């Protein structure tokens, strides 16, 4: 589903309010490829995580180069163990990027803006505008606070406020009189999420390397009980509702 005009209530949009089923997209790279010409580009991913999508993008576009920015030192060290000739890896936060001005054609933020501390979200978007070339694009996809998986995750990591803050930061970036941004396309879609069993869920969601959710035995049991009805012989399958916003650098 495409939404071509800005809404003053982005932070309040939920999947159920859309009135239609959003498309299921298994690989966000396919969506990115459909929106932008990625060939021969200098790209930046802010909050690259394990750099899975970054590596897949470079394999699909052998004449492009990508810089992956990651604030999690442990994940960054793991990424360095798998070098790629066209992937540069940097340890830094989005609000202070050790990068020159106007050096990228496009920037990706995939489920990462809400991980930026709200107090520095505006600065992070200013930094992205600084490193983007005029005419460049910013692809921001954020999880919507909705769905069965969200109902489990919010027991130990309630992201409602930070997800709202992320959308509000984008709104402010566009609304400023001196804004360097113009609004582009928006879409809602869903992504499949699979866990083989609760142990896999626990490793991935309760104890990530980038955050301490202060999970004790009692809370783990509450989460286990909430997760249990979704487990089948082949694992637990969820869909995560997503909201994409594209901003263009003036």
More confident position, 212 or 199: 199
Task: Give residue 170's domain range.
Answer: 2-144+158-190+242-249
* Per-residue confidence band for 21, with pLDDT thresholds at 50, 70 and 90: confident
Per-residue confidence band for 209, with pLDDT thresholds at 50, 70 and 90:
confident
Is the predicted pLDDT of residue 75 greater than 90, yes or no?
yes
pLDDT value of position 11: 34
pLDDT tens, position by position, 146-170: 999 999 999 999 999 999 999 999 9
Q: Is 11 helix (H, G, I), strand (E, B) or coil?
A: helix
List residues bridging with 249 in a β-sheet: 181
The domain tally of the chain equals 1
Q: Which residues of 155-172 are buried (b: 16+ CB within 10 A; e: fewer)?
A: bbbebeebbbbbbebbbe
Whether 69 maps to a domain, the answer reads yes
Cα angle 26-65-126, degrees, rounded to a multiple of 5: 85
Distance CA 16, CA 21 (A): 9
Determine the Cα–Cα distance for residues 44 and 244; give it in Å rounded to an integer: 17
DSSP 127-145: HHHHHEEEEEEEEEEEE-S
Whether pLDDT at 192 is above 70: yes
Note whether residue 50 is domain-resident.
yes
What pLDDT is stored for residue 206 in this prediction? 96
Inter-CA distances, 144 with 126, 159, 160, 191, Å = 24, 10, 9, 11
**Residue that is written with structure tokens 């996809």 in the block:** 141
CA dist 69 and 128 (Å) reads 12
Query: Quick one: pLDDT at residue 20?
Result: 58
Neighbouring C-beta atoms of residue 222, cutoff 10 Å? 13
Q: What is the pLDDT of residue 169?
A: 99
- What three-state secondary structure class fits 48? coil
In this prediction, what percent of the chain has a pLDDT beyond 70?
92
The CATH code of the domain that includes 135 is 3.40.50.150
Average predicted confidence (pLDDT) for the chain: 93
92 domain-assigned: yes
Of the two residues 24 and 13, the one the predictor is more confident about is 24
- Contacts for 72-78: CB closer than 8 Å, 24+ residues apart: 72/209, 72/210, 74/209, 74/210, 75/49, 75/50, 75/209, 75/210, 78/50
Is residue 213 included in any domain, yes or no?
A: no
Say if pTM beats, i.e. exceeds, 0.85. yes
Joined tokens for residue 103: 């050096």
Query: What was the pLDDT predicted at 210?
Result: 85
Burial 27-51 (b: 16+ CB within 10 A, else e): ebbebbeeebebeebebbbbbbbeb
* Higher per-residue pLDDT: 205 or 21: 205
Reported confidence tier of residue 99, pLDDT bands at 50, 70, 90: very high
Q: Tell me whether residue 185 is in a domain.
A: yes
């Amino acid at each position: 589903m495409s939404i071509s005009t800005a809404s003053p209530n982005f932070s309040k949009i939920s999947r159920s309010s859309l009135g239609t089923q959003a498309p299921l997209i298994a690989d966000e790279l396919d969506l990115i490829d459909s929106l932008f010409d990625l060939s021969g580009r200098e790209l930046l991913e802010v909050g690259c995580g394990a750099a899975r999508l970054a590596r897949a993008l470079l394999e699909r576009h052998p004449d492009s180069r990508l810089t992956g920015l990651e604030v999690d030192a442990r994940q960054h060290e793991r990424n360095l163990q798998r070098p790629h000739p066209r992937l540069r890896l940097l340890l830094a936060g989005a609000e202070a990027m050790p990068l020159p001005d106007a050096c990228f054609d496009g920037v990706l933020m995939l489920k990462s803006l809400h991980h930026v501390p709200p107090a520095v979200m505006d600065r992070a978007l200013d930094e992205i505008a600084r490193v983007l070339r005029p005419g460049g694009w910013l692809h921001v996809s954020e999880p919507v606070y909705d769905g069965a998986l969200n109902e489990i995750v919010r027991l130990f990591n309630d992201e409602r406020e930070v997800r709202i803050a992320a959308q509000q930061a984008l709104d402010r970036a566009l609304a400023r009189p001196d804004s360097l941004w113009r609004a582009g396309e928006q879409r809602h879609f869903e992504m499949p999420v699979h866990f083989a069993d609760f142990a896999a869920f626990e490793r991935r969601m309760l104890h990530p390397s980038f955050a301490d959710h202060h999970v004790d035995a009692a809370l783990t049991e509450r989460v286990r009980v909430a997760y249990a009805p979704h487990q089948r012989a082949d694992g637990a399958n969820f869909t995560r509702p997503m909201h994409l916003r594209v901003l263009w650098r003036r």
